[in-house]
Amino acid sequence: MTRFRGEYIADRKELHNAVRADAGGRCIRCQHPEGDTPSTAGQRCDDRCTHSRDGKMRILTVHHLDGDKANNRWWNLLALCQSCHLTIQGRVIPERPWLFDHSPWFVPYVCGFYAAYYGGMNITRAEADADPDRWLNLGQPWRSSTAHSDFPARGEVGG
């Protein structure tokens, strides 16, 4: 499977603006606010920013977690600054097992991915937030000795 695939939808700009607005106009990973320009690079950092004050310009982008630009499910669209986007895009391949706990900011998104990929289900953000262990156990069955049995096995789900 090719890591990056698909085509952006025609109204991508509106969709991505909505994703950034839903994130409060901040990177969901480092909390940097949107609005950087070359002349204000590094000046917009505030007490909510969790990254180092390195003077980098951080434009707020939208990352497709599974690499499919045509997949616009909520869990696949992450509002990330360019720095975090490049880090996540280069290191996170959700189809590969992750042996450690996920970062809190990432948990709802990976829950949505695991539900779709392993469970063949399209869950809402509210469902991911309400019972994250249920969804995390799909992609990390070693987390619990009582992994949910109400899901079909990976090979039993079509598409």
**87 lies in the same domain as 100:** no
**134 lies in the same domain as 105:** yes
**131 lies in the same domain as 60:** no
The count of other CB atoms within 10 Å of the CB of residue 96 is 8
Q: Are 107 and 132 in contact (CB under 8 A)?
A: yes
**72 lies in the same domain as 124:** no
C-alpha 1/C-alpha 80 separation (Å) is: 24
**123 lies in the same domain as 78:** no
**74 lies in the same domain as 89:** yes
The residue with greater pLDDT, 139 or 155, is 139
pLDDT bucket at 70, cuts 50 / 70 / 90? very high
Range of the domain at 153: 95-159
**64 lies in the same domain as 101:** no
**101 lies in the same domain as 114:** yes
Q: Domain end: 46, 65, 93, which one?
A: 93
CB neighbour burial string for 125-140, b if at least 16 within 10 angstroms, e if fewer: eebbeeebebbbbbbb
- Asked if pLDDT for residue 85 goes beyond 70, the answer is yes
Return all residues near 24 (Cβ < 8 A) that are at least 6 apart.
none
pLDDT of residue 56: 74
**155 lies in the same domain as 77:** no
C-alpha 20/C-alpha 26 separation (Å) is: 7
**152 lies in the same domain as 112:** yes
Domain total in the chain = 2
pLDDT of residue 123: 98
pLDDT of residue 54: 77
- Asked if pLDDT for residue 1 goes beyond 50, the answer is no
- Asked if pLDDT for residue 148 goes beyond 60, the answer is no
**53 lies in the same domain as 115:** no
pLDDT of residue 75: 97
Least confident segment among 41-50, 135-144, 145-154 = 145-154
